[in-house]
Amino acid sequence: RLMPWLYALFFVSGCPALIYQIVWQRALFAIYGINVESVTIVVTAFMLGLGLGSLLGGRISRIERLPALPIFGGIELCIGVYGLISLRIFHIAGVHTAGAPLIAVAVLSFLLVLVPTVLMGGTLPFLVAHLVRISKNVGASVGMLYFVNTLGSAFACMMCARFLMRMMGESGSVAVAAALNGAVGSIAILAWIAGFREHLPDQDREDSETEPSPDSRAGLIPFPLALALVGLCGFISLSYEILWYRTYSFATGTRASAFALLLAAYLEGIACGSLLSNAICSRGVSRTRTLRMIGWLAIGASLFGFLVIPLMAHLVQHVDYTLTLPLVALSAGLLGAIFPLATHAAVPSDRRAGSGTSYLYLCNIIGSAAGTMLVGFVLADFWSTRQISVFLLLLGLAFGGAVYAGTLGGVFRRLAGFGAVAALAAIGVASAPALFDTIYERMLFKHDYQPGYRFAHLLESRSGVIAVGPDATVFGGGVYDGRFHTSLVNDTNMLVRAYAISAFQASPKNVLMIGLSSGSWAQVILNNPAVARLTVVEINPDYLRLIPQYPQVASILNNSRVTIEIDDGRRWLFRHPDLRFDLVVMNTTFNWRAHATNLLSDEFLQLVRQHLRPAGVLYYNTTDSGDVFLTGTTRFRYGLRVLNFLAVSDRPLAIDKETWRRTLVSYRIDGKPVFDLTRQADQKRLDEVLAMADSPVVSPAADSAAMEFAATIRERYRQMRIITDDNMGTEWY
């Protein structure tokens, strides 16, 4: 009677765990930055906490007479209590530690998530130990518990992607998660009080202390071998997930929901794999059969994992990317079946079941963390997606082939087995160039892709993917990110917005620019006659490898008046609290992209205000979002719209057309005048640009003009909402 209840509760408990993970990681990224170092540290901190919790749960599980339901319920209640206050704790920590050195970020991130992740990690080995006392079957217990809990986590990812984060924001989502924890904990404790007491009858307890049945006897495979199997399985699985996230993120233009949906498919696959293992282990398996199945699963997972990216790249030309996610689920499911099988074969079905499971779970987590670090943090800087995929294919085939061939009797059969796996490896290596050719071109343009189109440059690194088309158009992370172009006469990328700075800020001597991209904006601003110093903060260092190849912008890298910092913009501001600027410029990316809120929220605007001189101006791209317009003109009293850019300040802003004209006439880039007024076309273009300052919008009911002041902006967008770190703007819409 107990087990269906326990499975249902463990399913529900998987939901808040993933809600917390998504929200807490995002909150920590806002504090410590979204550059790859911070992201890696935060993710690793979660894994370490789960690993330590697993060890603790394994230790406690050895105490046989501890009742599972009330302890499980108490753990859930504790997690819920921490969840309710978690964002407040993170905020307090952020106020005092934002901008801290990398080592401090690692320690702080770990400490902030230590308590809840330890509690989460301890539930699996503890419940495994309890169910094994009833079923005498380790694999079936691990498989079913892993299935229901992981399925609950996958369901939570779907909720976050589809409606929860959009409707509830960070604090609301955490409140939902805490409510689920509270419900699970309360039901577990009340059920135990009401009579679902899991003390076994005396006869059953005597049986549990006798020798286990042959099917669940320890030693089907040596425990060190099982540790190696699950560790390597975790390494390959998380390494593939990193590659899949990179490509799915690119294919969606870095939408926030892409990660949640990918993670949902990944977890659904692991859940189904665990269910498969449960069915296998329930029938009993021999040592040879166990190892053989592990080998088959590893080989199949490696082959399917290798094919996921090229298949997705071709399929998104015809269908929505979400319809390709079953490919991820299939590969993850094959790998997900290995952990319960290895646990069943190596862990005895006695009082050591929980602790044995905890060591294997910890090893699996260590392997996963190693995959995150090695592939995501190291290899991604040196190898392309294709090369890393080939590496993981060969590693998985070697892993699966060695396990499978080791079960074959006779030298000839073993050699034949190794030969078959080697043939698969050779086919994979030989086919990789064709399979991975133009995958990013296909993912970017989808149904508009034209055969034969190739990027002029494609840079892949741990910081992301940057592609440049033959026409010098830049695509960062799968979306338009500017052009290598500085001409105002033939303005193809709305550079007039950069040239318009002098219309409202006559003397921007000291300028901060967040975001470098192609360097075109930096080149224009640097050559403004009034600018004496330009500081640029860019999160992706790969742009510095591209800029020297384009003469229009190459000179900014050698200009003594420019300082380029590689860092997260928000974190850089936290780390330099005493710096003040006349002008802060952000050619911000599209408002709907993942983490765009970090540079658009009311909290961020308040941070920028602290870095502005008394008459300083923040000038940034709204990407035509009414929410962004309203947020900027609400935080700052004075504002001016220039096309889809917004200038805001605590001092009145006015349009000075004459100053703007003098600046444009004297403008030179690399010694060459922007306007050659001896040419009729240049004079005409100058007049067109200056005409933008004529008749700015004075009424929300008026037709849209090039410029508009704050009062009418606020009135025009009064029905929109203020963007905050909590509601995350339009990222989940």
Token pair of 717 as six digits: 């967008």
Higher per-residue confidence, 188 vs 544 = 544
- Lookup result for tokens 């969840």: 83
Task: Please report the pLDDT score of residue 724 as a whole number.
Answer: 97
Tokens of 469: 């088309």
pLDDT band at 313 (very low <50, low <70, confident <90, very high): very high
Specify the pLDDT at position 2: 65
- Residue pLDDT, tens place only, 588-643: 899 999 999 999 999 999 999 999 999 999 999 999 999 999 999 999 999 999 99
Grouping H, G, I as helix, E, B as strand and the rest as coil, residue 7 is: helix
Written as six digits, the tokens of 431 are: 């086919």
Task: Give 470's pLDDT tier (boundaries 50, 70, 90).
Answer: very high
pLDDT of residue 211: 42
CA distances from 622 to 408, 479, 499 (A): 64, 16, 17
Least confident residue range of 151-155, 183-187, 190-194, 722-726: 190-194
Count the Cβ atoms, other than its own, within 10 Å of residue 577. Answer: 11
Distance CA 646, CA 184 (A): 48
Q: What is the 3-state secondary structure (H, E, C) of 402-469?
A: HHHHCCCCCHHHHHHHHHHHHHHHHHHHHHHHHHCCCHHHHHHHHHHCCCCCCCCEEEEECCEEEEEC
Query: Amino acid identity of 507?
Result: S
Average pLDDT along the chain: 90
CA dist 182 and 506 (Å) reads: 58
- Residue 507, exposed/middle/buried by CB under 10 A (0-12, 13-18, 19+)? middle
The one-character DSSP state at 1 is: -
**How far is Cα 297 from Cα 604, in angstroms, rounded to an integer?**
48
Bridge partners (DSSP) of residue 476 are: 466, 479
155-164 mean pLDDT: 94
Q: Give 1's pLDDT tier (boundaries 50, 70, 90).
A: low
**What is the rounded distance in angstroms from the CA atom of residue 354 to the CA atom of residue 612?**
57
Tally the C-alpha atoms within 13 A of residue 146's C-alpha that lie toward its C-beta.
31
Query: DSSP assignment of 488-557, as one string?
Result: STT-SS-THHHHGGGGT-S---EEEEE--TTSHHHHHHHTSTT--EEEEEES-TTHHHHGGG-TTTGGGG
pLDDT tens, 87-141?
999 989 888 888 888 788 888 888 898 899 999 998 888 788 878 877 778 888 8
Q: According to the model, what pLDDT value does residue 102 have?
A: 78
Tell me what percent of the residues of the chain surpass a pLDDT of 90.
69
Q: Which long-range contacts (CB under 8 A, 24 or more apart) does 663-666 make?
A: 663/502, 663/528, 663/529, 663/530, 664/488, 664/499, 664/502, 664/689, 664/690, 666/529
**CA 522/CA 501 separation, integer angstroms:** 13
CA 217 – CA 676 distance, rounded (Å): 88
* pLDDT tens digits, 18-42: 999 999 989 988 888 887 777 778 8
The verdict on pTM exceeding 0.85 is: yes
Mean pLDDT of 390-419: 89
Tokens 């998987």 map to which residue?
14
Over residues 510-565, the pLDDT tens digits come to: 999 999 999 999 999 999 999 999 999 999 999 999 999 999 999 999 999 999 99
What pLDDT, in 10s, does the model give residues 410-429?
788 888 888 999 999 999 99
48: three-class secondary structure by DSSP: helix
DSSP string, 126-168: HHHHHHHHHH--HHHHHHHHHHHHHHHHHHHHHHIIIIIHHHH
Eight-state DSSP code of residue 379:
G
On whether the CB atoms of residues 184 and 75 are closer than 8 A, the answer is no
Structure confidence at residue 210 (pLDDT): 41
Which tens digit of pLDDT belongs to each residue from 205-261?
Answer: 444 444 444 444 445 788 899 999 999 999 999 999 999 999 999 999 999 999 999
Query: From residue 528, how far is each of 665, 666, 669 by CA, in Å?
Result: 11, 9, 9
Mind listing the pLDDT tens digit for each residue in 674-696? 999 999 999 999 999 999 998 77
- 132-158: pLDDT as tens digits: 877 778 888 888 888 999 999 999 999
Residue 142's pLDDT is: 86
C-alpha pair distances (Å), 549 with each of 67, 464, 519, 730 = 68, 19, 12, 35
Whether residue 485 contacts residue 553, with contact meaning beta carbons closer than 8 Å, is answered with no
Task: Please count the residues of the chain.
Answer: 733
Phi, psi of 375 (to 5 degrees): -80, -50
What pLDDT digit, counting tens, does each position of 289-311 carry? 888 899 999 999 999 999 999 99
Query: Predicted confidence band at 287 (pLDDT cuts at 50, 70, 90)?
Result: confident
**How is 561-590 classified by DSSP, letter by letter?**
TEEEEES-HHHHHHH-TT--EEEEEE----
The first and second tokens of residue 383, run together, are 């190898």
Range 246-280 burial, b when 16+ CB lie within 10 A, else e:
bbbbbbbbbbbbbbbbbbbbbbbbbbbbbbbbbeb
Query: Does 201 score more than 80 pLDDT?
Result: no
Which pLDDT value is given to residue 566?
A: 95
Determine the pLDDT at residue 723.
97
